[in-house]
Amino acid sequence: MQFIPQTLFQGPALEFDFPALQIGLAEYAEGPTGCTIFLFAERATTSVDIRGGGAGTINDHERNHAICFAGGSLAGLEVVSGVTAALWEQWGRPIGQYALVSGAIINDFRRRANSIYPDYTLGQAAVKAARTGYFPLGTRGAGRLAHCGGIFGTEKDEPSGQGGAFRQIGPTKLAVFTVVNAFGVILDRQGQVVRGNRDPQTGKRRHPLEEMEERLEQDRPIASPSGNTTLTLVVTNQQLSPVALRHLGRQVHTALGRAIYPFHTVQDGDVLYSVTTNAVENSTLNGVTLGMLASELAWDAVLASAPAHSSET
């Protein structure tokens, strides 16, 4: 059976100014599942930080023309082939020049009773739909069927999705995009649970640590589901050495533990790509400062992954 890619979406979106970056989304409504791809005008220096017990990635190039996020677990890595082929076609198939594309996936199968996954055709469609300055938020693209907070059972998790945040400081552009399909819950800046671990009967959300302690006192089992992943991209135009770029990624990935709790567990497969187009110099921002700013944007991006979230607990 042939499925028709959907590439036009309405709803909450982040609008931003980063001409060197294009973003394309494509989905199969029949899944539902989808992919989100990030295209760079020129090959961009890349570093990847992989944590947790179940990551799924492909290629992990040190320089990339594109980064792909997709649903469909390991089968969804086929999107990378579609994106690679579509870029090569756009370039006119030059001899000896190939698109470098890296990718990572989330497992969205446990929320649906079919085997539909983001494939070669969906990757091609996402490239054709790519545009600058626009990133749909929530249950779109790779986050089409993302959930979070199922620590004590999938009946207590909630829909999340993809989120993004952007800031410009002088000539430096800095953006963070994330797909939250996490084992843990989403916390706001006051430490309150705003997504995940929600009692389906009362609607009350509880902090996982509080519930864990209660279950331990009552000698109740803690059976945790698997198949969880948070995918993140940090992208800047500021010139960074490969070492500085690697440490930027590590700093931001660690800081995400403030927004998602628990994070980097054996049940997760968290992947963060840090990318620079190396277009500008900015002496007012060193690597540590850039990492601090990106870490705050990452928290904003996680909160934006559930744009309709409520802070009731």
| 3-state SS record for 69-88 | EECCHHHHHHHHHHHHHHHH
Alpha-carbon distance 1 to 45, whole Å? 39
- Angle 158-232-287 from CA coordinates, rounded to 5°: 140
Q: Please report, as a single letter, which amino acid is at residue 305.
A: S
Alpha-carbon distance 145 to 28, whole Å? 11
Checking if the pLDDT of 312 tops 60, the result is no
Residue 33 in contact with residue 144, Cβ under 8 Å?
yes
Alpha-carbon distance 161 to 305, whole Å? 5
Checking if the pLDDT of 313 tops 50, the result is no
Alpha-carbon distance 299 to 313, whole Å? 19
Rg over alpha carbons for the chain, rounded to the nearest Å, is: 19
Percent of the chain with pLDDT over 90: 83
Checking if the pLDDT of 37 tops 90, the result is yes
Average of per-residue pLDDT across 103-121: 93
Q: What pLDDT score was predicted for residue 267?
A: 85
pTM score, whole prediction:
0.95
Mean pLDDT in the chain? 93
Which of 112, 108, 247 is closest to 181 using CA atoms?
Answer: 108
Confidence class of residue 308 from pLDDT cuts 50, 70 and 90?
A: low
Q: Please report, as a single letter, which amino acid is at residue 6.
A: Q
- Angle 48-53-58 from CA coordinates, rounded to 5°: 40
Alpha-carbon distance 69 to 126, whole Å? 11
Catalytic, out of 229, 230, 232, 236: 229
Checking if the pLDDT of 245 tops 80, the result is yes
Q: How far is CA 118 from CA 21, 39, 297, in A?
A: 22, 18, 28
**Residue 236 annotated as catalytic:** no
Percent of the chain with pLDDT over 70: 98
Confidence class of residue 98 from pLDDT cuts 50, 70 and 90?
A: confident
